[in-house]
Amino acid sequence: MHKNNCRVCGYELAYPPWGDDGEDPSWEICPCCGTEFGYEDCTPVSAKRKREQWIAAGCPWFDRKKKSLDWDLKRQCEHIPEVFK
Ligand SMILES: [Zn+2]
C-alpha cells in the first residue's frame, strides 16, 4: 500500500521512492515537498519532522509545474504510508 507515495507529503510518484522492497532509496527528489528519498525520509521521525517544516513554510513545491490546480494538502496527506504518518 502506498509504495509509490512520498513518505513525507504523500505525493504519488511513477516509481517506488524506496524501491520495490522499501529498503533501497532512489535518492531522487520529491517534486512536491523536495524530500530526497533516502535522506529526510529514512525514519518515521525524520519524515514527520520534514513534513512539519514543509507545512510551516507554506508547502512550497520543488517542481511547481507538477502542481495541479486543484491540489489539496489534506487529500494528498492521506496517501502517506501509514507508518510515516
Ligand atoms: Zn514529498
- Three-state SS annotation for 31-52: CCCCCECCCCCCCHHHHHHHHH
Predicted confidence (pLDDT) per residue in 72-83, tens digit: 999 999 999 999
Predicted confidence (pLDDT) per residue in 6-39, tens digit: 999 999 999 999 999 999 999 999 999 999 999 9
Extended strands (E) in the chain: none
Residue 41 has pLDDT above 90, yes or no: yes
The Å distance, Cα 69 to ligand 1 centre, comes to 17
Residue 1 has pLDDT above 80, yes or no: no
What average pLDDT does range 41-51 have in this prediction? 98
The Å distance, Cα 19 to ligand 1 centre, comes to 15
The predicted pLDDT at position 2 comes to: 84
What's the grid cell of residue 9? Answer: 507529503
Phi-psi category of residue 2: left, alpha or beta, with phi > 0 → left and psi -120 to 50 → alpha: left
The Å distance, Cα 40 to ligand 1 centre, comes to 10
The predicted pLDDT at position 12 comes to: 96
The Å distance, Cα 13 to ligand 1 centre, comes to 9
Pairwise CA distance, residues 16 & 58, whole Å: 26
What average pLDDT does range 46-73 have in this prediction? 97
Contact 80, 44 (CB under 8 A): no
Residue type, 42: C
